[in-house]
Amino acid sequence: MVKDVFEPLAPSQVKLTGWLGKRVAVNEATRLLSVDLVPLLAGYKQRPGSHPWIGEHIGKWLHAATLAWQNTGDIKLKEKLAGAVRELIACQEADGYLGTYVKGQRFGLYKGADWDVWSHKYCLLGLLTWWEYTKDAAALHCCQRMGDLLCATFGTGSGQKSIISAGTHVGMAATSILEPMVLLARASKNKKYLDFCRYIVDVAWEEPRGPKVLSTLTTTGKVNKTANGKAYEMLSNLVGLCELYRETGEKRYLVPAEKAWSDIVANQLYLTGSMSYGEHFHDDHALPNAPRNNIGETCVTVTWLQLNWQLLRLTGHGKYAAEIERSQYNHLAAAQRPDGAQWCYYTALEGTKPYGPGINCCVSSGPRGMALASQSVCFRGMVRSDLVIVSVDSLEISTQIDGVTVRITQKSPFPRPGKIVLTVEPERPVAFNISFRLPSWGTFKPSLGKVYQKDFTALATGQRLWKKGDTLTVEMTFSEKIIEGTFTNASRMAKTLGPFVLASQNGQDVLFAEAGAKGEKYQIWTGGPKSETEEDRSRLGNADGSICDGDPRSIVVTFDGSKQPLDWFSLSYAKPKTATKITYCHGRSFHDGGWFDASEKKPWIEVQRTKDGPWETLGELAGYPATTATNPQGLRDGQAFVLSLPAPVTFVGLRVVGKPACGDNPQQAFSSCGELSVG
């Protein structure tokens, strides 16, 4: 087994108390503690579940909530965890199965039922995390039974099937069970599970229809050339490879992860610390900014943080700490509503933030990222008396050094410049070294010790005898910087302040992490050609696509939980437009609305002939079906409706107006639009 260069402290040993600490705290108090576990367990108690990957959510919650409980000691959260563990274990079948599918549709690529191994992965991760901190024998036994079933089901032996045939995205969804299977091998000390991991990496991945993660990344180093480029699943597999390297010491398992990291940072990474659009890796430097591109899936951001955490632990290289910092203070925090209650599925670099409650993969993943934060800021070095701090934020540490309990309080003015003060409080004098990472975005002047450059720039105090009340101060200076855009953002600019990326909102520079918190529009990259068409709608809604991009799939909606008599979607033009026809494309019909209710009047088109002038009705969309508040009458996603005009009309504003529908929820109503165009 490979010994970590940096060994993370336990969640109970580090408390984040500054800017990031506030986000971690609301993550536990507002999100994790309040999650309704009934729908997360329903698919296990009554199979089949309501959704192909509904089974992932309880495991993700167990993982995040266990780390949060360990960090805070919250007894209510512990009680909730213990109850959830008992209920989940009780759902395990006699053969070890702990999924949400019915017999006959398990562990295979069945229509609507092809994420079975994936759900087992998250059950394993959640239960193993609980076991790690409680030593609950029932949880480990449950995991071993799952592991035994997986080993019996998949492989090259008689009667076994290929694990590639049990997961989407060229099998990467199923093979990402690699990570918890290594952890299970470590916890149980059973070599059988490690052999299963080697089967995944050395056999299944390299099958003719396999993703070839190991061989492709080793030879090409290109993530967009590996499998189908699906970012979340690929990164999940790379996290598993890091654990396999840690367990076996075979460098060939680490190389692909390092090469993928280098390619991502050079070619696939947003300034804000996330990657991918449409959930896939694309051509190098193809990094669009708009909401319609489905940018920076929160699941991807969190798994990228996990990969950097693995590589930082294994190598001690500061470049990984820098990327953790970039992601935490930007894309991860930006995806979290500042009160912690909701998360974005995607978080674009411009537009608005579509925060959401409910159950989806990203709402479950985001809290895991925040719960992991306390273990990413302080480590023990290879020398046991070496304490490594990689964060300039405020925090508190309590750990044992040579049998002596040492408490360190780090008070920082961050995110403003000023003096960082570390106060050391050992039970009795003890000798150790503090290594303090000095980020490249600022200037730092320490009161003692020496600055050195090895794997990262750091201050080292050296092995000194620390007594109660001893302090170390570091003067921290940083200022706003201009970033010149390249490739997608050529001729544009962005701003940073320390590790924070700034966004322009209502003419002011704000932290991207805090921008759009109340529905405001924001933009990171500014300058460049100004759009001649502006779009708006009666209510902000929670789907921030576009109605003038030529793509009716990039929809906008007016959903905000309220019920209004009318909705509208509009375009305004810098120069007058002349048209003989207007085309409106329906967006999407949902169970609770999304269309116009035409029972009293069909939707109609209005124009504004002068800026700020009155709106004038041109006519109804006669071809619109006879919908009602509850029935869309077969309305198709993206379906187009045309208003032909008897003579050309010139205008500077255009909108479609109608009564929103409620579907199966009469307490609210909303509509949608995929495209509004002139011809």
CA distance 393 to 415: 8
What are residue 53's phi and psi, to 5 degrees?
A: -120, 30
Q: For 299-322, how does the pLDDT look when each residue is reduced to its tens digit (9 = 90+)?
A: 999 999 999 999 999 999 999 999
- Is residue 674 within 8 Å of residue 547, measured between CB atoms? yes
Taking 70 as the threshold, does the pLDDT of residue 632 lie above it? yes
Q: Is 39 exposed, middle or buried (0-12, 13-18, 19+ CB in 10 A)?
A: middle
Handedness of CA 317, 322, 323, 327 (dihedral sign): positive
Per-residue model confidence (pLDDT) at position 384: 72
Centre a 10 Å sphere on the Cβ of residue 634 and count the other Cβ atoms it contains. Answer: 9
Per-residue model confidence (pLDDT) at position 529: 66
Mean pLDDT, rounded, for 538-566: 87
Domain ranges of the chain: 35-209, 386-477, 480-523, 533-678
CA distance 167 to 113: 10
Q: For 115-155, how does the pLDDT look when each residue is reduced to its tens digit (9 = 90+)?
A: 999 999 999 999 999 999 999 999 999 999 999 999 999 99
Q: Is 631 exposed, middle or buried (0-12, 13-18, 19+ CB in 10 A)?
A: middle
Mean pLDDT, rounded, for 321-327: 98
What are residue 63's phi and psi, to 5 degrees?
A: -60, -55
Mean pLDDT, rounded, for 425-437: 97
Closest CA to 330 of 297, 301, 310: 301
End-to-end distance of the chain based on CA atoms, in angstroms?
A: 67
CA distances from 358 to 54, 80, 123, 323, 430 (A): 12, 19, 20, 29, 50
Classify domain 35-209 at the CATH topology level.
Answer: Glycosyltransferase (1.50.10)
Q: Is 476 exposed, middle or buried (0-12, 13-18, 19+ CB in 10 A)?
A: buried
What are residue 113's phi and psi, to 5 degrees?
A: -150, 60
Mean pLDDT, rounded, for 620-639: 97
Instruction: Compute the C-alpha angle 257/231/220, nearest 5°.
Output: 45
Superfamily of 533-678 according to CATH: Galactose-binding domain-like (2.60.120.260)
Closest CA to 12 of 120, 127, 133: 133
- Banded pLDDT at 61 (limits 50, 70, 90): very high
CA distances from 654 to 490, 543, 568, 581, 617 (A): 31, 21, 10, 12, 10
Per-residue model confidence (pLDDT) at position 561: 86
What pTM, to 2 d.p., does this model score? 0.84
Per-residue model confidence (pLDDT) at position 152: 98
Per-residue model confidence (pLDDT) at position 382: 87
Average pLDDT, the chain: 96
Per-residue model confidence (pLDDT) at position 299: 98
CATH dotted code for 386-477: 2.60.420
Mean pLDDT, rounded, for 449-466: 92
Is 556 in a helix, a strand, or coil? strand
Q: Is 332 exposed, middle or buried (0-12, 13-18, 19+ CB in 10 A)?
A: buried
Helices 191-198 and 178-188: crossing angle, nearest 10°? 160
How many CA atoms, within 13 angstroms, populate the side-chain half-sphere of residue 400?
A: 3
CA distances from 119 to 100, 557, 669 (A): 8, 31, 34
Taking 70 as the threshold, does the pLDDT of residue 73 lie above it? yes
- Banded pLDDT at 544 (limits 50, 70, 90): low
Strand partners, 230: 280
Per-residue model confidence (pLDDT) at position 357: 86
Share of the chain above pLDDT 90, in %: 92
- Is residue 674 within 8 Å of residue 585, measured between CB atoms? yes
CA distance 85 to 87: 5
